Amino acid sequence: MIDVTGWRVVGRGDERICYQHPDDPARCVKLSRREKAKQTRRELRYFRLLRRRGVPFTLIPAFFGVVKGEGVIGLEQQLVLDDQGALPPNVSEYLATPLTPQQASRFWAGLGALKAYLLAYSVVPCDLVMSNLLVIERPDATTVMLIDGLGASEFIPLPDYVAFLGRRKIRRKWAKFMAKTVRPRFAQTQAQPADQA
């Protein structure tokens, strides 16, 4: 059983609420009401699969297990924080501030590293949106982590189990995400050189 009364809310979506764990601030608990827990059940199944496959939790949050309470179900995960222990911005928030050329270059490198990770381990995103990606700036590099929306959403989720299908889905979703979301947002919010303005 779990009682989240007084726990700090660090995120909220359509289906669930994400709380910072009071006993370990580097962990969070994502809880859904049992009658509205489709995404949570899918992610629980998928994180268990990734753990069995030995996928390193480097660019997605580490998974610690299932959490149950009266009328709720959820998962306990790593709470992604920056090096100062603060919640990092998501991609939308990050691109809302002007970036230096070095920041922009490191941001694109971080996105490239995330795509390479997803393909290398066939980690399938179902909901690739800017709010599900956090940007962590460090002195030597920028890391982009996918924190939510994992696992194929099909009734029979073959991309989760067949690497070829998983990678094909990743490439398709990534191309759409970049073309329709990230590149237009970057062009809209970042200062362009005079010859490109």
How confident is the model over 49-63, as pLDDT tens digits? 999 999 999 999 999
The values of phi and psi at residue 187, to 5°, are -65, -35
Q: Reply yes or no on whether the pLDDT at 36 is more than 80.
A: yes
Tell me the per-residue pLDDT of 65-92, one tens digit each, with 9 for 90 and over. 999 988 999 999 999 999 999 999 999 9
- Topology classification of domain 9-78: Phosphorylase Kinase; domain 1 (3.30.200)
The predicted-structure confidence for 101-115, as pLDDT tens digits, reads as follows 999 999 999 999 999
Domain boundaries along the sequence of the chain: 9-78, 91-189
Residue at 63: amino acid letter = F
Residue 70: what pLDDT?
87
pLDDT confidence bin for 196, thresholds 50/70/90: very low
Share of the chain above pLDDT 70, in %: 96
Q: Distance between CA 54 and CA 120 in Å, rounded?
A: 12
